[in-house]
Structure 1
Amino acid sequence: MLLAIEVIFWVSIFVILYSYFFYPFILAILARFFSTPVKCSDNYLPSIGVLVPAYNEESVIEKKIINILSIDYPADKLSVWVGSDCSTDRTEEIVSAYDDQRVHLWRAPERGGKTGVLNGLAPVIDAEIVLFTDANTMHRPDSLRAIVRNFADPKVGGVAGHIEHALAEEKENAETLYRSFESKQKYMEGKLHSTISAFGGFYALRKELFSAIPKNAYSNDDVLIPMNTVRKGYRVIYEPEAISEEDFTEKISSEFSRRVRIGAGNFQAFFWLRDFLNPFLGWPWFCFFSHKVTRWFSPHFFILAAFSSTLLFFATDMTLYRVIYSTAAVFMLSGIAYRIFPLRICRHIFYFLTMNCALFLGFIRFISGIQSAAWSRTERG
């Protein structure tokens, strides 16, 4: 019995360490020696249709349209397509008021969330490249040229851009650090073959490769659409020089709810992407399993590690288990203490713990059943 508990403990610890430490290190080595260059061209300027899903975005939608139309890109090859998920505010009125043939409004027949907007609007966009973005994501002037130059390579089907949070330096938070960590992994995965996911507010796809995703897909289009592209034999790469910015909510409750929603969508994606668990798929399998599967299930392994270490602490007198248990207790208490003592190190631990807690609650929401992909607008800073 004791041996079984020890096995559970060490397997759990290994999976956690592999997901957050070993895999990024191994990935960096592999990307250096087995990278496949992308044949870029700054002269490749295909037509782009910018798809903006919107639900009650009256406070930012005009700023968003102005931002897109001011980007350094040929005007006759750029269009804006706002997909309203039956907004009840002035969003549709603001878009309709634009006297510009490049600006289009599409209204969903019924509320279906972001998924419904993407499935309904993407097929009717008249452009070679569809750029998926959020209403609160603002693009830098050179961002579109940077992202589409990669499509000069016929093997590239999708390109993920980089998103930075529009926060003052003194308000930099753990989410920014995590984004940087994720960005580096996406870049290295793209060098091997394909990144497993994009940042949902900024990624592009060849229109001909778009396939409808399940209608109840819940906050996971940025995983399903890139992986569908890989299924079709194309690469999805990450372009760090295509930069956009988005406002970040400072309300912990709103951000936590968003994380729970993303967590539920992640577990949906896991079961829809089970075919990528086949090792014969090569790099896509390796990256999907190492980056996503181990990360999505890390809260489960944290729980197993916590229970098994507690049992080992009381069932044995081995110094090793007592040190591990005490260290883990200090780690947990440091995160919890952030609400009282807002030290920088405690802030990062607090974020890490809440992120995994939200992911586990997302799992609970998933197994409870997701009936609709409709979403409510997140209040932003």
Structure 2
Amino acid sequence: MANLFLYISLFLIWFMLFYHMFLMQGGYIFSQNYKKTADKWREKPHRFPTVSILIPAHNEEVVIEKTLQSMVRLEYPKNKLEVIVINDNSSDRTGELVEEYAQRFPFIKPVHTKPPSGGKGKSGALNNGLKEATGEMIVVYDADNTPEPNAIQYLALGLENDPDAGAVVGKFRVTNSQKNLLTRLINIETITFQWLAQAGRWFWFRMTTIPGTNFAIRRSILERLGGWDEKALSEDTELSFRVYELGYHIRFFPMAVTWEQEPEKLKVWWKQRTRWARGNEYVIFKYLFRFHKLKRKKMAVDLLYFLFTYLLFFSGILISHSIFVLNLFFDLNITIGFVSYVLLILGFLLFVTEVTLALSFERGQLTWKNFFTVLLMYITYSQMWLVLVVYASWLELKRILFKQEVTWYKTQRFEGGSSKTDVDKVKAR
């Protein structure tokens, strides 16, 4: 029986590893060509659509001013631009700071919300902001984001030149990547995710997940969909599936770059990632059980990807780890013990290869310091994700069984987290 479970776990693990190899090949090819596409589009005559930027903000006084400064610096016709900051039931100086900028810059528009319509989380705040928006194109930024001045131009360029794109997704980088070991690990994680999962899936399948920030979506699509799902903790992933279902694709266009702050403490990281895992599991089961009703069966590609990422792949690792530990105390008569060790070593080498390759796509990121961090990442950060997913699955199961109400957790911000030195040292193109 132990051999059977070990075979199953190895299949699940290596299926995902080979799929990641496949995605990384696509990500590499895409990384060599996307700038040529941008150059062609820039050379063509193009218009500037009206843009509404939505910034949900709940108790964001630590970071909101830097975000507003970046909005002022945007290189986009200000008569075609409105920045709607949703001060969502804040108890700090967020609303006051937004009002100060609104008085100086007419294109900045505050929206203040209170219960019962306000204070319910990001999705609710975005829906309240959408009611006030007038632009043809809706862009979303988190309150800790500082997009590069040309980011909106590139997002608009993507939608204007790709009529089949329901949304265009840019790239995000970490401002506080050198703060401590945790932020260095997160920085490596985000770079790998974007070039492996985002770029790879876009190259092979014309599919990309909408992130929580730095994306543009057609207003007409949001209106057809009725806005954001307020029950979803991962409102971005959930929105992606509904955009697919309408027959559109979601384009990954890394010319549009934003910089964002990441958690600097393990407790904050744990809460944020637990919300992500629970939110993605909500999306998996929401669409898995109604898959037969979906018109766009191509969505199975992404549904399978999320199913493996958050359930099957981690289940395989958990089974493998459990068998290894039990075999230390009991003789489980494992006949493929040696082979399993070889596969473990090969899996580790493959992990290191994929991550270092992704780092090579970003200027200044493939360093010896990052390389040794990647080696450490496999036995620390990746294993923490395993425990986290198990914990998040338990919470989500309890929510379903006991019909608990979804509670939104807002990620804690840190003073001084937006290091201009980091941004200047690593211009990500």
Normalising by the smaller structure, the TM-score range is 0.7 to 0.9
SS in 2 for 1:183: helix
What is the letter of the counterpart of residue 212 of structure 2? G
Distance 1:363 1:44, change over 3 A: farther
**Which residue does 1:181 correspond to in 2?**
192
Distance 1:199 1:215, change over 3 A: closer
Q: After superposition, where does 1:91-130 map in structure 2 within 5 Å?
A: 91-97=94-100, 98-99=102-103, 100-110=105-115, 111-130=119-138
SS in 1 for 2:380: helix
Distance 1:207 1:303, change over 3 A: same
Q: CA deviation at 1:173?
A: 1.6
Out of 291, 314, 331, the residue aligned to residue 299 of structure 1 is: 314
Out of 340, 353, 364, the residue aligned to residue 324 of structure 1 is: 340
What is the letter of the counterpart of residue 98 of structure 2? V
Distance 1:280 1:50, change over 3 A: closer
Counterpart-to-counterpart distance in 2, 1:182 and 1:189: 11
Distance 1:45 1:193, change over 3 A: farther
Counterpart-to-counterpart distance in 2, 1:179 and 1:316: 41
**Which residue does 1:214 correspond to in 2?**
229
Counterpart-to-counterpart distance in 2, 1:208 and 1:173: 39
Counterpart-to-counterpart distance in 1, 2:90 and 2:155: 30
**Which residue does 2:354 correspond to in 1?**
none
Counterpart-to-counterpart distance in 1, 2:19 and 2:111: 42
Counterpart-to-counterpart distance in 2, 1:140 and 1:74: 15
Q: CA deviation at 1:245?
A: 0.6
**Percent of counterpart pairs with the same letter?**
19
**Which residue does 1:374 correspond to in 2?**
408
Q: CA deviation at 1:378?
A: 1.1
**Which residue does 1:136 correspond to in 2?**
144
Q: After superposition, where does 1:55-74 map in structure 2 within 5 Å?
A: 55-74=58-77
What is the letter of the counterpart of residue 189 of structure 2? Y
Counterpart-to-counterpart distance in 2, 1:170 and 1:247: 10
What is the letter of the counterpart of residue 265 of structure 1? G
What is the letter of the counterpart of residue 299 of structure 1? F
Q: CA deviation at 1:175?
A: 1.6
Q: Is 1:165 the counterpart of 2:180 in the alignment?
A: no
What is the letter of the counterpart of residue 111 of structure 2? W
Distance 1:24 1:280, change over 3 A: farther
Counterpart-to-counterpart distance in 2, 1:244 and 1:223: 19
What is the letter of the counterpart of residue 156 of structure 2? V
Query: Is the 1:48–1:128 contact (alpha carbons within 8 Å) kept by the matching residues of 2?
Result: yes
What is the letter of the counterpart of residue 168 of structure 2? V
Out of 236, 246, 263, the residue aligned to residue 232 of structure 1 is: 246
Q: After superposition, where does 1:146-157 map in structure 2 within 5 Å?
A: 146-152=154-160, 153-157=162-166
Q: C-alpha offsets along residues 164-199 of structure 1, whole Å, 9 cap, x if unaligned?
A: 111355856222222122112212322344434233
What is the letter of the counterpart of residue 229 of structure 2? P
Q: Is 1:248 the counterpart of 2:239 in the alignment?
A: no
Query: Is the 1:54–1:82 contact (alpha carbons within 8 Å) kept by the matching residues of 2?
Result: yes
Distance 1:6 1:272, change over 3 A: same
Out of 393, 401, 406, the residue aligned to residue 363 of structure 1 is: 393
**Which residue does 1:11 correspond to in 2?**
8
Query: Is the 2:9–2:317 contact (alpha carbons within 8 Å) kept by the matching residues of 1?
Result: yes
Distance 1:94 1:252, change over 3 A: same
What is the letter of the counterpart of residue 61 of structure 1? I
Q: CA deviation at 1:18?
A: 2.3
Q: C-alpha offsets along residues 306-339 of structure 1, whole Å, 9 cap, x if unaligned?
A: 3344556722163x3157369979x99xxxxxxx
RMSD: 3.1
Counterpart-to-counterpart distance in 2, 1:90 and 1:360: 37
Q: CA deviation at 1:377?
A: 4.2
Q: C-alpha offsets along residues 38-72 of structure 1, whole Å, 9 cap, x if unaligned?
A: 89733242111111011101122122112112111
- Which shifted more, 98-107 or 274-283? 274-283
- Which shifted more, 54-63 or 5-14? 5-14
Query: Is the 1:197–1:226 contact (alpha carbons within 8 Å) kept by the matching residues of 2?
Result: yes
Query: Is the 2:229–2:239 contact (alpha carbons within 8 Å) kept by the matching residues of 1?
Result: no
Q: CA deviation at 1:277?
A: 5.2
Q: C-alpha offsets along residues 11-38 of structure 1, whole Å, 9 cap, x if unaligned?
A: 222222222x2112233567879x9x98
Point out where structure 1 has 5 or more consecutive residues left out of the alignment: 333-342
What is the letter of the counterpart of residue 130 of structure 1? I
Q: CA deviation at 1:244?
A: 0.8
Q: C-alpha offsets along residues 230-276 of structure 1, whole Å, 9 cap, x if unaligned?
A: 11111101111111111222211211221112111111111222268
Query: Is the 2:247–2:296 contact (alpha carbons within 8 Å) kept by the matching residues of 1?
Result: no
